[in-house]
Amino acid sequence: MLRYFITIFFLVLITNSNASNKEKIIQNLNSTKNLDFNFEQNINGKIENGNCTIEYPKKIFCEYAKSNNKILVSNGKSLVIKTISSYYRYPLKKTPLNFILDKDFLIGKINVLEERIVDKSFINYTIKENDIEINIFFNKETYDLIGWQNIDVYQNFNITFLSSIRKNRIISKNIFKLPIQN
């Protein structure tokens, strides 16, 4: 009988721990209007880095550190990737960023998904939506979004890691204006 009560106690403790992580992540997302961060992106072994600013919902501006002047911009409807020699425009809703940049969508999913603790440092949720699978990661100490894994529009495996995260800063609205094609 004692073993039965101990088992129930630990199950309740584990459930409360998961709920606590979820609540803290959701609280953190709810209080975040925007964030900027450095990133490292690995696409099929090709590593790029730079700086991004996200404004919820669905806006992002990223400058890559390489000398080809690569930028990625979403105004909430379209996504543009532009370099010195190329220009690609996509409907945002056809990309995984449509979900990653929508904190209300993330909150809804986190509420119903099971979490997984990775390396005792990260909280992971696997989101499956419209034939897209995204693994999203949060820091277990700060509950900040720290990265994601997904397959991009070209079927490339994409890992993005965030660092030096700053939240709720004053940002220029003009940065989310889509660049024109040269």
Q: What is the pLDDT of residues 76-106, one digit of tens each?
A: 999 999 999 999 999 999 999 999 999 999 9
Residue 32 in tokens = 């975040």
Q: What value does the mean pLDDT of the chain take?
A: 89
How confident is the model over 7-39, as pLDDT tens digits? 444 444 444 445 599 999 999 999 999 999 999
What pLDDT score was predicted for residue 113? 96
Give the Cα separation of 116 and 5 in Å (integer): 25
CA angle 144, 122, 47 (to 5 degrees): 85
Q: Which of 158, 173, 146 is nearest to 28 (CA)?
A: 146
What is the reported pLDDT for 19?
58
pLDDT value at position 5?
35
Please tell me the distance from the alpha carbon of residue 170 to that of residue 87, in angstroms, as a whole number: 29
CATH superfamily of 2-176: Lipoprotein localisation LolA/LolB/LppX (2.50.20.10)
| Confidence category of residue 153, pLDDT binned at 50, 70, 90 | confident
Question: Which residues, listed in sequence order, are joined to residue 151 by a DSSP beta bridge?
Answer: 157
Question: CB–CB of 102/136 below 8 Å?
Answer: no
Among 40, 38, 52, 46, which Cα is nearest to 156's?
46
Location of structure tokens 């409360």:
16
Give the whole-number percent of the chain exceeding pLDDT 70. 90
